[in-house]
Amino acid sequence: MLKSYLKLAWKVLWRRRFFTATSLFGISVTLVVLMVATALLDHTFAPMPPEVRQERTLGIFRARFTGPHSTWNSAAGYRMLDRYARNLPGVERMGMVSVPTEVQSYPGGTRVDSTMRRADAEFWRILDFTFVEGGPFTDQDVANGSSVAVINVATRDRFFGGPPAVGRTIEADNQRFRVIGVIENVSTTRPVSSGDVFVPLTTAKTDAYKQEMLGDFFGLLLARSPADFPAVKAELLSRLKSVEMPDRDYDRFFAPAETYFESVASRSFGDRNEERSHPERLWGAMVFVGLLFMLLPTVNLVNLNVSRIMERASEIGVRKAFGASSRTLVGQFVVENLVLTLVGAVIGFVLSAIVLRTISGTGLFPYAHLHINIRVFVYGVGLAVLFGLISGVYPAWRMSRLQPVSALKGATR
């Protein structure tokens, strides 16, 4: 039975080539746009190496002094993290890494731009970098302020033209570092782990950073499980109540522990003086934009399907006259629709893969390797199936309940 349905569907779709092509074009292009957008979002927010323990990692990404008339915003300072964020209950490890700084070097007279980050040794244990050569710097290196560096593959190639790099020296920001490790490139869409040159935070040119409450460090808190998050957040907030104010312009200090997604949400949608972040607002905005985009393709698909079914009124009439039940007819249209949507999905999948590979290749997002998000792909196809059924099968079902004679007469309106 199914086989004859499939055969029939194939014949019908092939007979109306222009309409089939239009539907397929619509479905596949919509899927491609959806896939590119979600691939970029995944590349920004979803767990991926080296942030493999992202589910149980909280970050301290922003800190702020506020007063009645003044706000002083920045990343957290070393002193704040060192004094208030260590040994939080439920936290296994606390590491820190500076926000990326652009530094310039001139090896052999040509200019090389790198993003440099200063980190402690815990940073390498919280994240799981893939080392191509050597290894990370140790607690000992950090304590001694050793001039050692971990660089990524791209930086190795820019400085040395290829392996090996371990043991050689690079100049960055007027300082010299001995390379002790080479890691795989990490996409620049990952502000937590992306960087070209990592050096111990104690190699900073002066000790001024040690006194800073606001500065340029991200704190990373590896909790035992996500269930500990509320307790960690609350404990940090209560500890920060005792922070001294730098001068009388300010009366409050605030540096929340939050996931990266939450920090982006509060940057885009948060109220400046509100301590709670609103991840649901960012989710809402993303879903809203996605649905808004899908509106036009959906109306287009519905329009096509409705017209197509109307056109086939007489076919339905004939089939009814020869004794086909409503169920048989509906079954036929469901299969037809599914075949159409699935062919569109396959084309969309292949196109998405090609487009994503092209985007990764252009270097628009340095070091990015974009992938299709299967889950969102399934949702997209699911929506296409849903609207296909509503717009294609529902009118067919209504028509199949007409008297054969009126259907035959073409009573479509």
Partner 1 sequence: MTRHLLKLVWNRKRSNVLIAVEILLSFIVLVGVTTLAVFYVDNYRKPLGYDVENIWTISFEKHAPGRSSVTIESGPEDAAAARKPVDRGFVGQRARIAQLMMSLRDMPEVESVAAAFVTPYSSNTWNSDIEVGGKHHRYGFNAATDDFARTLGLEVTRGRWFSRDDDGAAWTPVVLNERLAQEVFPDKDPIGQFVDEQRPGDSQGPRMRVVGVIREFRKDGEYAAPENFLFNRNRLDDPDVEVQPPNEIVVRVKPGTTAAFEEKAITRLRGAEPEWTFQAEPLTQSRETSHRLWLAPLSAAAVISVFLLIMVAMGLTGVLWLHVTQRTREIGLRRAKGATIVNIQRQLVGEVVVLTSIACLAGVVIIVQFPLLDVFSAVSPMVYGVSVAISLVCIYLLSMACAWVPSRLASAIQPAEALRYE
For tokens 């893939």, the residue is 130
**In terms of Cα–Cα distance, which of 133, 114, 96 is closest to 175?**
114
Q: Kindly determine how many residues on this chain lie close enough to bind partner 1 according to the rule CB under 8 A.
A: 55
Q: Please state the φ and ψ torsions of residue 229, each to the nearest 5 degrees.
A: -50, -50
Q: Does 411 engage in binding with partner 1 (CB under 8 A)?
A: no
**Given the complex with partner 1, which of 232 and 407 has the nearer CB atom?**
407
Only one of the segments 86-94, 104-112, 157-165, 378-386 lies at the binding site for partner 1 (rule: CB under 8 A); that segment is: 104-112
Among 192, 304, 370, 384, binds partner 1 (CB under 8 A): 304
Q: Does 245 engage in binding with partner 1 (CB under 8 A)?
A: no
Sign of CA dihedral 395, 399, 401, 402: positive
Using omega within 30 degrees of 0 as the cis cutoff, is the peptide bond preceding 50 cis?
yes
Among 9, 12, 13, 26, binds partner 1 (CB under 8 A): 26
Calpha distance 358→350 (Å, rounded): 12
Q: Does 71 engage in binding with partner 1 (CB under 8 A)?
A: yes
Token digits of residue 190:
């990952």
Ramachandran bin of 301, using left for φ above 0, alpha for ψ from -120 to 50, beta for the remaining angles: alpha
Calpha distance 280→270 (Å, rounded): 11
Binding letters toward partner 1, positions 189-208, x by CB under 8 A: ---------------xxx-x
Calpha distance 400→388 (Å, rounded): 17
Only one of the segments 88-96, 123-131, 179-187, 302-310 lies at the binding site for partner 1 (rule: CB under 8 A); that segment is: 302-310
Pairing of strands 175-183, 148-152: parallel
Only one of the segments 7-15, 229-237, 290-298, 369-377 lies at the binding site for partner 1 (rule: CB under 8 A); that segment is: 290-298
Q: Which residues contact 387 (CB under 8 A, 6 or more apart)?
A: 298, 301, 302
Q: Does 19 engage in binding with partner 1 (CB under 8 A)?
A: yes
Q: Does 22 engage in binding with partner 1 (CB under 8 A)?
A: yes
Among 33, 60, 97, 222, binds partner 1 (CB under 8 A): 33
Q: Does 372 engage in binding with partner 1 (CB under 8 A)?
A: no
CB 112 within 8 A of CB 105: yes
Q: Does 290 engage in binding with partner 1 (CB under 8 A)?
A: no
Please tell me whether residue 179 adopts helix, strand or coil conformation.
strand
Among 296, 350, 374, 386, binds partner 1 (CB under 8 A): 296
Nearest-approach distance from CB 78 to partner 1, in angstroms: 12
Q: Does 29 engage in binding with partner 1 (CB under 8 A)?
A: yes
CB 170 within 8 A of CB 151: yes
Contacts 24+ apart (CB under 8 A), 291-296: 293/33, 293/34, 294/30, 294/34, 294/383
Among 140, 211, 225, 358, binds partner 1 (CB under 8 A): 211
Interface positions, 333-362, toward partner 1 (CB under 8 A): none
Binding site residues, partner 1, CB under 8 A: 18-19, 21-22, 25-26, 29, 33, 68-74, 101-104, 106, 109, 111, 173-174, 204-206, 208-209, 211-212, 214, 216, 247-249, 293, 295-297, 299-304, 306-308, 310-311, 364, 410, 412-413
